[in-house]
Amino acid sequence: EAQVTQNPRYLITVTGKKLTVTCSQNMNHEYMSWYRQDPGLGLRQIYYSMNVEVTDKGDVPEGYKVSRKEKRNFPLILESPSPNQTSLYFCASSLSMAKRGGNTEAFFGQGTRLTVV
């Protein structure tokens, strides 16, 4: 089954304790991205990756890091989480924009609800 898998689904942590949220897709997609969703602010893109070893900032990258060492995985790293990073996080994947005629439909994971206290 084609899917995007995020782990964990729920996480409560303390300020300053480094954490990683994993994201994996099994559709051989080049394009992967992370979003956060906050009430009244909607979904905002944090980082995206066009392919392995190619990452770029979205609209709200401060306080986050990503890496793309393999095509299927795109972890989100919070080196020193703060309470303002409490949010619902989504990972998504699709074919890259570079391919003409391809179906670039984005598929989303089920979300990770992060609470930083």
Partner 1 sequence: KQEVTQIPAALSVPEGENLVLNCSFTDSAIYNLQWFRQDPGKGLTSLLLIQSSQREQTSGRLNASLDKSSGRSTLYIAASQPGDSATYLCAVRRNTGGFKTIFGAGTRLFVKA
Note the residues at the interface with partner 1 (CB under 8 A). Answer: 31, 33, 35, 42-45, 48, 50, 56, 58-59, 90, 92, 97, 103-111
Q: In the complex with partner 1, which residue's Cβ is closer, 34 or 85?
A: 34
Instruction: Give the nearer residue to partner 1 in terms of CB position, either 34 or 78.
Output: 34
Q: How many CB atoms lie within 10 A of CB 88?
A: 14
Q: Which is nearer to partner 1, 75 or 111 (CB)?
A: 111
Could you tell me the smallest distance in angstroms from the CB atom of residue 75 to partner 1?
A: 18
Q: Say how far apart CA 114 and CA 100 lie, in whole Å.
A: 37
**Which tokens belong to 95?**
């074919």
Contacts of 79 (CB under 8 A, 6+ apart): 18, 63, 65
